[in-house]
Amino acid sequence: MNVNPPITNFQQLLTSHHIPSDGSLVGGPDGTPTDPARIDVLFLVEGTTKSGSQYPDGEFYPDGGIKTQFGGGPVAAGWNFTLLTPLSLVEVLEFSLLFVDGEGYEYNGAFQIRAADGNFMVSSDNSPWTDTKMSGGLVVLGYSNELVVDYDFDTINKVRKVLSISFNGKTYSVPTAMQTASAVKTNWAHGIFLPQHQLGQTAAGGIIVTKLDGCTIS
């Protein structure tokens, strides 16, 4: 009888400030957040073969999300990451910030960097992935990159906007027609942020790796 090995979607190397997959809190020795307006994440994510998927992904997200009293408005999500896998093996690098408001509406802050040309891709009402035609240049292997995505979560009109993208010190304004995605009702826990990092592979099998030196939500 053939026994398939366990499928691992991500692995983490954790340091003093992190959001582990078991959903425990972030902060000092007792787990109390040191600053509710700032969440720090440091981990290593490895994408591996996922059962039934031609193009397997590796992804990280904190189980249960991050509890928040945030009631809507502007938010900046910052990521510092180092790609440790050749670009030829990577389809996209995805960085998402999902928000669920107090009424249970989910605001999808999905964002991608396409590995082949560096183009920024946003989730919008136009398409699940809208190509902004803007590129910050190719992600360089082994180089520490800084990404900041500026969002506006409008809890009155139930829409999320991606206003601008800063990549390695240069800022790009997202065209108005591509900014907006409507919130959808969900059964997820109310009042949470859910940061995600995902790697899409160009072929089945193998391992793709990024090291995230930090993630901030402010």
Contact predicate 190/101, CB 8 Å: yes
CATH code given to domain 43-217: 2.60.120
Q: Which of 49, 136, 60, 56 is nearest to 94 (CA)?
A: 60
Residue 21: pLDDT over 50: no
- The H-or-E segment that residue 188 falls in is none
What pairs with residue 193 in β-bridges? 66, 99
For 186-200, how does the pLDDT look when each residue is reduced to its tens digit (9 = 90+)? 998 999 888 888 878
Cα separation of the two ends of the chain: 52
Residue 18: pLDDT over 90: no
pLDDT of residue 212: 75
Domain residue ranges of the chain, discontinuous segments joined by +: 43-217
